[in-house]
Amino acid sequence: MSLYSALDAAVSGLSAQSAALAAISANIANASTTGYKTEDTSFDALVAASTGADSSLASTEGVSTSYYREMSNQGEIASSTTTTNMAIDGDGFFVVSASNTGTSATTDLFTRDGSFSTDADGYLINSSGDYLMGYATDSSGDPISSSAGTLSGLTAIQIPTTTKVTATTEASLSANLPADLAVGDSVTSSMQVVDSQGVTQTIGETWTKTAANTWTLTLSNPYSTDASTSTGTISPSTVTVSFDGNGVLSSTDPSPISLTLSDMTSGAADSTFTLNLGTAGETDGLTQYASSDSSDEISITSSTQNGSTAGSLSSVAIGDTGLVTATYSNGESVIVAKVPVATFSDEEDLTQLSGSTFTANSTSGTAVISQAGSDGAGSITGSALETSTTDTATEFNKMIVAQQAYSAAAEVITYVDKMYQTLTQSIA
């Protein structure tokens, strides 16, 4: 190797160690970056071509560097108090987009940064301002899109900030009427239903024993706050209930019990709901047994209805299969979306845009969109974040090695310069 070759090799060493230091610096700077994957430097020897017949004349003439990112390394899953934060445990990426409109498969980005929160419009965005992509779902959590499983079927996930009003369509009562009550005597109860404008209406129930094993249920007109002031009418207002000799419900008249709220003072539209008192011959609803106390009152086990008033968003939960469930102030919980996971045949070669955001390319392959926890995709942990894979102790150790190698290369340059000076002086 000539002096000139030695100089070139030393200069390439300086450049290589500078590159290594740049990677170390980036890793240390991102030691707290969510989902960050450590970057490393690969060193490759540059070999000069051999001359003549003797291949032993080939020599190393420096070093080249390249970067690679340890994408397969799993960061620690750390719990978070933010319920919309999430982490992938295993392979894969969240699909995000810089825009919540006009998105397409060609503009989708991929990240391990799961620090999502809702913006003013209810969209889930991460700390980089990118919108989380997923599928709108039905009430069972199944994607609505016919293109589920592809990038083209994804849309920005938006969580409604309020729920719409749902008028009651079904009400159920499970209770016991006192069998030892005298004929002609009555007991009272009440039920609540929701009208078409989301107002909770209370309906009084008077149960009068008209004969052995026979009762008449008289329903009062609905009222919202004051029982003395009705807010509409209910029809029919009477129901006949019969039991067999064992105290088990045998029939109701009418059957089924279909009730209509109308003439509402608030202007709410007429609404109809079914009152379910149980199955004839079964003890799953209304029964007639001896009272368990001395007051001979109706004993109610449960009274339910399926209507809902308007509610504001109170919390969001993320399941391990990516289901996003929103809970509202009215107690209603709704599955609103499903977060998929994208995997690649060669994730190490994804093109990096920022510390934890990437795009696909011909080398990485196209994204395979899967349900979290299936088909090789990692599962999703809600209320958690994946920490950076950077180990600062390791990085400081690599920094020392890089500094020593850089200093050594600089020394080579110094000595080559002295040798050139000696050669010049000898010629002079």
Give the Å distances, CA to CA, from 282 to 246, 258, 289.
11, 20, 13
Quote the pLDDT of residue 356.
83
Q: In this model, does residue 247 exceed pLDDT 60?
A: yes
Tell me which residue of 173, 172, 170, 171 sits closest to 300, measured CA to CA: 173
CA 392 vs CA 23, 25, 26, 38, 401: distances in Å: 13, 10, 11, 10, 14
Antiparallel, parallel or unpaired: β 323-328 and 311-318: antiparallel
Q: What is the pLDDT of residue 279?
A: 96
CB 181 within 8 A of CB 187: yes
pLDDT band at 43 (very low <50, low <70, confident <90, very high): confident
pLDDT > 90: what percent of the chain? 66
Does 76 or 353 have the greater pLDDT score?
76
pLDDT number for residue 330: 86
How confident is the prediction for the chain on average, in pLDDT? 90
- Residue 146 pLDDT: 77
Does the pLDDT value for residue 105 go beyond 80? no
Residue-wise pLDDT for 196-231, tens only, equals: 999 999 999 999 999 999 999 999 999 987 777 899
How buried is 98 (Cβ within 10 angstroms: 0-12 exposed, 13-18 middle, 19+ buried)?
middle
At residue 420, the pLDDT reads: 81
Average pLDDT on 48-64 reads 59
- Above 90 in pLDDT, residue 399? yes
For residues 13 and 328, give the distance between their C-alpha atoms in angstroms, rounded to a whole number. Answer: 61
With 0-12 CB in 10 A as exposed, 13-18 as middle and 19+ as buried, what is 114? Answer: buried
Domains in the chain (CATH in brackets) are 3-72+389-427 (no CATH), 77-163+312-386 (no CATH), 170-305 (2.60.98.20)
Q: Is residue 48 predicted with pLDDT exceeding 70?
A: no
Three-state SS string over 349-392 comes to: HCEECCCCEEECCCCCCCCEEEECCCCCCCEEEECEEECCCCCH
Are the C-beta atoms of residues 110 and 358 closer than 8 Å to each other? yes
Give the other-Cβ count within 10 Å of 183's Cβ.
10
- Does pLDDT of 85 surpass 90? yes
Q: Please, which pLDDT band fits residue 63 given cuts at 50, 70 and 90?
A: confident
Q: What proportion of the chain, given as a percentage, has pLDDT over 70?
A: 95
What is the rounded CA–CA span in Å between residue 71 and residue 91?
A: 9
The whole-number pLDDT of residue 59 equals 57
Q: How confident is the model at residue 49 (pLDDT cuts 50, 70, 90)?
A: low
* Highest-scoring range by mean pLDDT, 61-70, 97-106, 237-246: 237-246
What residues does 262 pair with on adjacent strands? 233
Point out which residues pair with 117 in neighbouring strands.
125
> Taking residues 373-383, what's their average pLDDT?
94
C-alpha to C-alpha distance for 199 and 25, rounded to whole angstroms: 61
Residue 1 has pLDDT above 80, yes or no: no
**How many CB atoms are closer than 10 A to CB 319?**
19
Average pLDDT over residues 43-64: 63
pLDDT of residue 54: 52
- Across residues 33-58, what is the average pLDDT? 71
SS3 406: helix
pTM of the complete model = 0.71
What's the pLDDT band for 47 if we cut at 50, 70, 90? low
CA-based radius of gyration for the chain: 37
Closest CA to 277 of 298, 303, 246, 238: 303
Pairing of strands 271-276, 170-178: parallel
Give residue 50's pLDDT band: very low, low, confident or very high (50, 70, 90): low
Would you say the C-alpha torsion 190, 194, 196, 197 has a positive or negative sign?
positive
Q: How far apart are CA 331 and CA 163, in angstroms?
A: 10
Per mean pLDDT, which of 7-21, 102-116, 326-340 is the most reliable?
326-340
**284 band by pLDDT with thresholds 50, 70 and 90:** very high
**DSSP letter for each residue of 37-71:** --EEEEEEEEEPPP-SS-GGG--EEEEEEEEEE-T
3-state DSSP assignment of residue 347:
helix
- Decide if pLDDT at 355 tops 60: yes
**Using 50, 70 and 90 to split pLDDT, how confident is the model at 403?**
very high
